[in-house]
């Protein structure tokens, strides 16, 4: 059974940093692109970033470029999102998701972790 379990969310002040983690199981992690998608309270879904299988190629939504870094550790079956320079508008539930077809199609999602940026 495919499982994705996020952790690391919490309350942080504007300008602060946070590192999210996602541990995967039930599939060969190193075979898949992995993604972070976020959802602000009461709002829709927004793709944040992806990382390809070997961790070298990455892409980000414009609003987080230069502030967020996606990475992975295939030996640990883990995906990460380092978030620096956090803003109030980054407040959201952050979901880790598996890319089904190396094309930004998301077939499995974690339960999400809430990041709240507030003073």
Partner 1 sequence: DIVMTQSPDSLAVSLGERATINCKSSQNVFYNSNNKNYFAWYQQKPGQAPKLLIYWASTRESGVPDRFSGSGSGTDFTLTISSLQAEDVAVYYCQQYYSTPPTFGQGTKVEIK
Position 110 contacts partner 1 (CB under 8 A): yes
Binder of partner 1 out of 21, 27, 30, 61 (CB under 8 A): 61
Question: Is there a contact between 94 and 81 (Cβ–Cβ < 8 Å)?
Answer: yes
| Other C-beta atoms lying within 10 Å of the C-beta of residue 5 | 14
Position 107 contacts partner 1 (CB under 8 A): yes
Binder of partner 1 out of 106, 113, 115, 117 (CB under 8 A): 106
Helix, strand, coil % in the chain, rounded to nearest 5: 10, 50, 40
Binder of partner 1 out of 46, 53, 84, 91 (CB under 8 A): 46
- Rg of the chain in Å (alpha carbons): 13
Site for partner 1 in 26-45 (CB under 8 A): 37, 44-45
- Report how far residue 78's alpha carbon sits from residue 119's, in angstroms, rounded to the nearest whole number: 30
Position 73 contacts partner 1 (CB under 8 A): no
Interface contacts to partner 1, rule CB under 8 A? 37, 44-47, 50, 59, 61-62, 95, 100-101, 103-107, 109-112
């Amino acid at each position: 059974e495919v499982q994705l379990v996020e952790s690391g969310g919490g309350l942080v002040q504007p300008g602060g940093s946070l590192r999210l983690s996602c541990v995967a199981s039930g599939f060969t992690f190193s075979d898949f692109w992995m993604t972070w998608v976020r959802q602000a309270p009461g709002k829709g879904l927004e793709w944040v970033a992806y990382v390809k299988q070997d961790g070298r190629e990455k892409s980000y939504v414009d609003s987080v470029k230069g502030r967020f870094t996606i990475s992975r550790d295939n030996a640990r079956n883990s995906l990460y999102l380092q978030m620096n320079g956090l803003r109030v508008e980054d407040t959201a539930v952050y979901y880790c998701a598996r890319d089904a077809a190396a094309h930004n199609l998301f077939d499995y999602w974690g339960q999400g972790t809430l990041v709240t940026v507030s003073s």
